[in-house]
Structure 1
Amino acid sequence: MNRYGFVRVTCATLRTTVADPGANAREIVRVLGEVVDSDVVVFPELSLTGYTCADLFGQDALLDGAVRGLQEVLRATAGRKQLVVVGMPVRAENSLYNSAVVLSGGEVLGVVPKQSLPNYKEFYENRWFRQADGTEVPEVGIAGRVVPFGVDLLFEAPGVPGFPVVVGVEVCEDLWVPIPPSSFQAGAGATLLLNPSASNETIGKSGYRKNLVQGQSGRCIAAYAYAGSGPTESTTDLVFAGHNLIAENGRLLEESARVGDGTPLRRDSYWITADVDVGRILTERRATTTFEQGPRFARPYRRIGFELAAEMPGLRRFVPGTPFVPVEGPELHRRCEEIFGIQCAGLAKRVEQLPRGTSLNIGVSGGLDSTLSLLVTVKTCDLLGIDRTRVRGLTMPGFGTTSRTRQNALDLMRHLGIASETIDISELALQSFRELGHRPFDIDCRGLDVPAFREALARVPSGKRSDLVFENVQARLRTFLLMSRGFVVGTGDLSELALGWCTYNADHMSMYNPNCSIPKTLVKFLVRYVAQNEFPEGAVRDTLMSVFETTISPELLPASASGEIEQSTEGMLGPYEIHDFILFHAIRCGYAPEKVRFLAEHAAFTQEYPRELIERTMKTFFARFFQQQYKRSCVPDGPKVGTVSLSPRGDWRMPSDADPAEWLRETE
């Protein structure tokens, strides 16, 4: 385990020698020697004997051999701070139980018997084993020791401060029943659920098995590790899958090859390893207040202590650098349709409540956010059977607008068939400066017309082009013109809202904002996705790709002498990819800045970022997130699309006067 709450878990499929516990014990020991840095190692059901021994389970030779095999494994684990689960038949009083034996440091911590014995179709376990139901003896003698025995055992390691690790164990079929034992274990505090299993492979079963593991990890807000027997079990009537799965809170972290998946058949032992995040599980449980209802219905559990190593090396877990962006693959199209569907459904309901014939006004700048909002608005009109000319696009060039973004805005409105208009705000802005008595960049604008003022702006050195009033006047004029027309569809995104990168009561405001919970990295991805999939060729695709490739900028400061965008948002704040990474892990997951930085060091970003840039961007994010909360206290309606929303009416309620000192201290 490491100090950030990650626990390394291995699920192993064993090369099984059916009915030879000694050979199986030696193979378990060999595999353990290969995974010494894992905190928890799970082997399959009845792994010491093989699952398919059938009536041989009634032979003392097999049962005694299993005990000797267990002793060999115990000797190999002596001195290790590692939790190991092996499967074996265990004698208790007059019965035999299909059991998971939990080991650590050369000792048997406890024995958990199987509760749900399949005795249908190809399964026949009731012939050899007794079903555990809680009436069993509380202790059992095994390998010369008397150890806890029963379905009421949990195994607890103190871990690191704030991240206790509580392990529950169920066996194979226990997961397939309506209310698995792991549900009660999770309600009683288990954060890591283990399942040693022997599941044969039939057509379509693997998908259902995967759904069970993912679903149970999600319902229990836990990590779930499933270790399956493989094809070296007896094949008299069945072939076993060798399917290993590790899931966390509904998401699959790691999956092994299995029989029938098209990969070369494996006859040796193999395993998967992943680091599960106990810290996030605990945070999710605290936030999901209905989870606390579970323990009221749970039986009492005995907790048995064990120790984990203080620190594990590295991180065995894929950390996406763009956690908001759909993963390339077969579900990509479905995910994008889902995102657009939610945005359009929200806007459609609002449009239906407007007086008949109300125009939908939108400021089209030629940038990413307004492009996405325009695409959603047009798609909503198509959905409702409304003529696209009800959408009135208004582009409002000012002193920072470049020819590229202006042309992109005009082209996009023309190609999409909406009503469009251009109003140059330069004269209005210049008049506002005069009325305010403001000297932009120390330029006396009294008596200057727009061309003369532009010439004066061009003489201002690039490094001195900083004037907040100059920017705010233009931003508020644009909102004034839009809102004077009537109903305004907003364009600002989630990342801008988190950073407060908007002008209060300007681009900050609208009547409805379909982009409000879409972060910048996802906005950029969706624009490119629409270009490549909805308009695979032609003028619309070319325009959308031009928007995609344009520098992200509010275009409120003068352009360079060559007419290029000089005011780069990412140049000032840091890359949006890093900001969105922080936004997801700090706000969605509740991680402290130190843990966010640790994850960033292992993240698969689209490019390499120096550590210094990541740390500087983190400081910027947390400072601005706290300073700009007052803007988030009053934002327009808009749909929650993903798992993060900053709506003060929904997911995020925060005082505007909170101090970021504790968060900034951790970024040092």
Structure 2
Amino acid sequence: MNDQTFPPHGLFRVAAVSPEVAVGDPRQNVDSILEAIAPLGEADLILLPELGLTGYTCADLFAQLPLLDAAEEQLLRLAEQTASSDQLVVVGMPLRAETSLMNAAIAMHRGRLIAAVPKQFLPTYKEFYEGRWFRAGDAGDGPVVTIAGQQVPYGTDLLLRYGEAVIGMEICEDLWTPLPPSSFQAVAGANVLLNLSASNEVVGKAQWRRDLVVSQSGRCIAGYVYASSGPTESTTDLVFGGHCMIAENGQLLDQSRRVGDGELPWQGATHAMADIDLQRLQHDRQVIGSFDDGRRLLPHPFRFIDVKAPDTGRQSSASSSESDTATPSSGSRVSDHRSPDRPPLRRVIAQPFVPSDPSGLAARCAEIFEIQTAALAKRVSRLSASSPLVIGVSGGLDSTLALLVAVKACDQYDWPRSRIHGVTMPGFGTTASTESNATELMRVLGISSERIDIRELSLQAFRSLDHAPLGIALTEGMDAATLQQRLVQTDAGEGDLVFENVQARLRTFLLMSRGFVLGTGDLSEQALGWSTYNGDHMSMYNVNTSIPKTLVRFLVRYAADHYFQGRDGELLHAIADTPISPELLPPAEDGTIRQETEDTLGPYELHDFFLYHVVRNGFTPEKILFLARHAQFSQAYPAEQIEKTLETFYRRFFANQFKRSCVPDGPKVGSVSLSPRGDWRMPSDADRGPWKG
């Protein structure tokens, strides 16, 4: 499995560090660097700021031989002092390259200097004056440079391969240009982009800087690691912020404090550290086919430098023309922190479809309601004005959400609410409380309504099929009320699919005989096949088709708090608290719901977690279980329950694709959709061999 390669589970741990700086004193700076990175032994990569060996603000001192000689000497000392670690360390320094002085990033690993990459865009405007001291790197530079007597691969065309990580480097201004070098590096294969920076603080710049880092990580479908020098640089004219950031594919994973953030007075070094999920990035690049289209725009081929990955059971199979130069001896060992079981240094979101902060959740719910409403309005606009919108109202979550969307659409487009025709169809599993909720909901919302008891029709179907529901023989003269009484007193055991499916299909038959039917089934039910084929599986249009179960409850509560007042809101909150059930098996003798879906399938909270990581990220079962062990769910689930529920998910997901292959139209609202016409095309008879534990 890929989970046995480096890094474990594809989680590449990176640290961006801004040490204290003694301007013009490389020895002190190396001392500060070693002190700052000492607590960061868990990192696989350490990134330090631009010109971090000397200080960025040395100005004309960059032309002094003592400074340049000291920088080379201390570079070797830094490499020697970090040689016992598997960490890849990248630091900035002034680099002599033939007759030029370059602002360069130097990468080192296990005591060896393995790559030098020059800055390509030199700011020489306003407060910046780099063109006075440095030359910009370009494609005409030679392939190697001599540093302290060592021949080191050099150029703007270098990428480092470190296990599953492919690393590109750019320096400060490079990111702020119309065509950042990191964009080309990403298209060439880099999935981790580094920026060694010296960014001064002026009012409003920090947000712009953060937006650049986050957006570049999203545009490049990559991790982006940014380390800037801090306020111990010279303050003759400028103050540098010490801002360190780590982003991944459009999301900020971690950031340090900075000058101007309103926190306590500045003390010491700053850093940010997080795990970049390389497997997720690889999945997204493979899925987004247009990403590779940019290869034809690459200005030149890239050279790959192989870095010896820690031995985690398999070695990297990558090869390179530079590998003999860059690969150190094979005696490296895996540090304990690189164990496959090391806790992830990133938040594992237990409910990935539900924002954790209240404001974000409210915004998400509002946006989803608008998408659902707009989608339904377009479809309804193609119908005749006299065509009713028929919906089966059970008093449960899903049908309530679909009904609220229909009501909102009618209100927004000046259609009478009476155009919505709600039908409640009590069967052998309906409880008094859910039927009461359904009846009251239709009344308070002002829609037209109808009650059709399906028990007598179901009894006729059982007789026609010569079926004994739950093993009860249908004697001559037995009516539906008598059968209901017998069913309540009967142990449902493992259930009775014929008994359940007859009721589900009768409900669909009655609805479709009335008019244009709005479906109510949600995304989680589609994933698990928790529907009756040609029963609740079918409708004319389904506004809930890509809403996961964990989000449905929040959407109903949001509607209660924002669109409905008083008794209406209280009723919606009561419905939101109702246990999830298809109500196809008889209730308990006390009248409460006996067939709770989660008792059969396992918690929907777990299923939605699995659904997200299977469909959205394409992760292996091993990685999903690993992440689940580190997620903070609403309750503590035993490891055995998590594993059993994942097995149930895979088994049902593969077995029920035939239902998903012919689902009704409906709007996509999030990044995960199972529409066979859009996001998810899967053979109905696929074998799940590689997904078995």
* CA distances 1:488-540 after superposition (whole Å, capped 9, x unpaired): 111000000010000001110111001101110111221222223444x5212
- Select the residue among 661, 667, 678 that pairs with 1:650: 678
Q: Who is 2:484 aligned against? A: 454
CA contact (8 A) 2:257 2:270 kept: no
Q: Who is 1:342 aligned against? A: 371
Structure 1 portions without partners, runs of 5+: none
> 1:187 aligned to 2:187?
yes
CA contact (8 A) 1:430 1:450 kept: yes
> 1:435 aligned to 2:468?
no
Q: Who is 1:81 aligned against? A: 86
> 1:370 aligned to 2:399?
yes
> 1:409 aligned to 2:438?
yes
> 1:548 aligned to 2:576?
yes
Q: Cα distance, 1:198 vs. partner?
A: 1.2
Q: Cα distance, 1:361 vs. partner?
A: 0.9
Q: For residues 617-628 of structure 1, what are the structure 2 equivalents within 5 Å?
A: 617-628=645-656
Q: Cα distance, 1:76 vs. partner?
A: 0.9
Q: Who is 2:60 aligned against? A: 55
CA contact (8 A) 2:392 2:511 kept: yes
Q: Which amino acid aligns with 2:442?
A: M
Q: Cα distance, 1:414 vs. partner?
A: 2.0
Q: Who is 2:245 aligned against? A: 245
Q: Cα distance, 1:259 vs. partner?
A: 2.1
- Select the residue among 4, 22, 26 that pairs with 2:9: 4
CA contact (8 A) 2:14 2:274 kept: yes
Q: Who is 2:610 aligned against? A: 582
Q: Cα distance, 1:467 vs. partner?
A: 1.0
Cα separation, 1, equivalents of 2:560 and 2:24: 61
Q: Could you say what secondary structure the match of 1:638 adopts?
A: coil
Cα separation, 2, equivalents of 1:458 and 1:489: 31
Q: Which amino acid aligns with 1:112?
A: V
Q: Cα distance, 1:333 vs. partner?
A: 2.8
Q: Could you say what secondary structure the match of 1:98 adopts?
A: strand
Q: Who is 1:564 aligned against? A: 592
Q: For residues 262-661 of structure 1, what are the structure 2 equivalents within 5 Å?
A: 262-298=262-298, 299-309=300-310, 310=312, 311-312=338-339, 313-445=342-474, 446-462=476-492, 464=493, 466-535=495-564, 538-661=566-689
Structure 2 portions without partners, runs of 5+: 1-5, 313-337
Query: Which shifted more, 238-247 or 188-197?
Result: 238-247
Cα 1:304/1:2, change in 2 over 3 Å: closer
> 1:202 aligned to 2:202?
yes
Cα separation, 2, equivalents of 1:382 and 1:20: 71
Q: Who is 1:170 aligned against? A: 170
Q: For residues 89-100 of structure 1, what are the structure 2 equivalents within 5 Å?
A: 89-100=94-105
Q: For residues 122-133 of structure 1, what are the structure 2 equivalents within 5 Å?
A: 122-133=127-138
Q: Who is 1:17 aligned against? A: 22
Q: Could you say what secondary structure the match of 2:561 adopts?
A: helix
Cα 1:19/1:533, change in 2 over 3 Å: farther
Query: Which shifted more, 451-460 or 507-516?
Result: 451-460
Cα separation, 1, equivalents of 2:154 and 2:600: 62
Q: Who is 1:106 aligned against? A: 111
Q: Cα distance, 1:294 vs. partner?
A: 2.1
Q: Cα distance, 1:353 vs. partner?
A: 0.8
Q: Could you say what secondary structure the match of 2:403 adopts?
A: helix
Cα 1:480/1:327, change in 2 over 3 Å: same
Q: Who is 2:315 aligned against? A: none
Q: Could you say what secondary structure the match of 1:642 adopts?
A: coil
Q: Which amino acid aligns with 1:553?
A: S
Cα separation, 2, equivalents of 1:373 and 1:255: 41
* CA distances 1:152-178 after superposition (whole Å, capped 9, x unpaired): 111112x2xxxx321100011111111
- Select the residue among 151, 163, 177 that pairs with 2:156: 151
Q: For residues 209-228 of structure 1, what are the structure 2 equivalents within 5 Å?
A: 209-228=209-228
Q: Which amino acid aligns with 1:223?
A: G
* CA distances 1:433-489 after superposition (whole Å, capped 9, x unpaired): 122211111222331122211221122125x26111111111111111111111011
Q: Who is 2:335 aligned against? A: none
TM-score normalized by the length of structure 1:
0.96
Cα separation, 1, equivalents of 2:205 and 2:442: 50
Q: Who is 1:256 aligned against? A: 256
Q: Cα distance, 1:329 vs. partner?
A: 4.8
Q: Cα distance, 1:557 vs. partner?
A: 0.4
State the identity as a percent: 56
Q: Cα distance, 1:419 vs. partner?
A: 1.6
Cα separation, 2, equivalents of 1:371 and 1:408: 10
Cα separation, 2, equivalents of 1:236 and 1:339: 52
CA contact (8 A) 1:490 1:515 kept: yes
Cα separation, 2, equivalents of 1:56 and 1:15: 19
* CA distances 1:87-144 after superposition (whole Å, capped 9, x unpaired): 1111112221111111111111111110011122221111111111222232222133
Query: Which shifted more, 86-95 or 259-268?
Result: 259-268
Q: Which amino acid aligns with 1:347?
A: L
Q: Cα distance, 1:578 vs. partner?
A: 0.6
Q: Could you say what secondary structure the match of 1:275 adopts?
A: strand
Q: Which amino acid aligns with 2:205?
A: K
Cα separation, 2, equivalents of 1:333 and 1:168: 38
Cα separation, 2, equivalents of 1:13 and 1:42: 9
Q: Could you say what secondary structure the match of 1:75 adopts?
A: helix
Cα separation, 2, equivalents of 1:265 and 1:68: 34
Q: Cα distance, 1:236 vs. partner?
A: 2.0
Q: Which amino acid aligns with 2:287?
A: A
Q: Which amino acid aligns with 2:626?
A: F
Cα separation, 1, equivalents of 2:535 and 2:102: 70
CA contact (8 A) 1:39 1:308 kept: no
Q: Which amino acid aligns with 1:90?
A: L
Cα separation, 1, equivalents of 2:414 and 2:601: 41
CA contact (8 A) 1:82 1:307 kept: no
Q: Cα distance, 1:648 vs. partner?
A: 0.9
Q: Which amino acid aligns with 2:489?
A: R
Q: Cα distance, 1:408 vs. partner?
A: 1.5
Q: Could you say what secondary structure the match of 1:485 adopts?
A: coil
Cα 1:105/1:650, change in 2 over 3 Å: same
Q: Could you say what secondary structure the match of 1:577 adopts?
A: helix
Cα separation, 2, equivalents of 1:113 and 1:147: 13
Q: Could you say what secondary structure the match of 2:246 adopts?
A: strand
CA contact (8 A) 1:517 1:640 kept: yes
Cα separation, 1, equivalents of 2:434 and 2:494: 20
Q: Which amino acid aligns with 1:457?
A: L
TM-score normalized by the length of structure 2:
0.93
Q: Could you say what secondary structure the match of 2:107 adopts?
A: strand
Cα separation, 1, equivalents of 2:85 and 2:232: 29
Cα separation, 2, equivalents of 1:651 and 1:270: 42
Query: Which shifted more, 306-315 or 203-212?
Result: 306-315
CA contact (8 A) 1:42 1:194 kept: yes
